[in-house]
Amino acid sequence: MEEILEIALLAFVGLAAGVINTLAGGGSTFTLPVLIFLGLPPNIANGTNRIAIVVQSLTGALGYKSKGISTFPFNLYLGISASVGAIIGAQIAIDIDEKLFNRILAIVIITIGVLITFKTNKISGELIEKIIGKYLFFSIIIFFLLKFMEDF
């Protein structure tokens, strides 16, 4: 019976995180603690969580594309830079001490939670797409660093 409850919890949290990640990002603040709570070591939980994020991101991008919303090749550049950052960050996370990893993970999750909670910016319907030139360069660097730190 306990196993069924765990599976139901994972399914519910996974679905909720998928919706959150597709719409705004930050679903890992829910899934990662649940995976750790259910007994996975933090570095394994982090790696498992990354697989779900890749699937969610691809599904979200395809869903937006089916509705006529696409910024190709901008999203491809960001995906590649984020993937490289994630691979490097994950390699470092595997090699560091588990206690240090737990502390870093706690700080990152708390920081993300605070930022999401107190975010006051509202997105207007009149956003100007800035997907070329210096905006592209800075976006690639920022996505690399974000994924590096998230997977570290």
How far, in Å, CA of 86 to CA of 144, rounded?
Answer: 7
pLDDT (average), residues 1-28:
83
- pLDDT > 90 in the chain, percent: 2
Over 80: is that where the pLDDT of 14 sits? Answer: yes
Residue range(s) defining the domain that contains residue 122 = 2-151
Question: For residue 124, what are its two tokens?
Answer: 């207007």
Over 80: is that where the pLDDT of 21 sits? Answer: no
> Which pLDDT value is given to residue 55?
79
Quick: pLDDT tens for 44-57.
Answer: 887 788 777 777 77
Quick: pLDDT tens for 127-144.
Answer: 456 666 677 777 778 777
Over 60: is that where the pLDDT of 91 sits? Answer: yes
Over 60: is that where the pLDDT of 149 sits? Answer: yes
What are the distances in angstroms from CA 130 to CA 18, 71, 113, 133, 138?
26, 10, 27, 8, 11
Domain count of the fold of the chain: 1
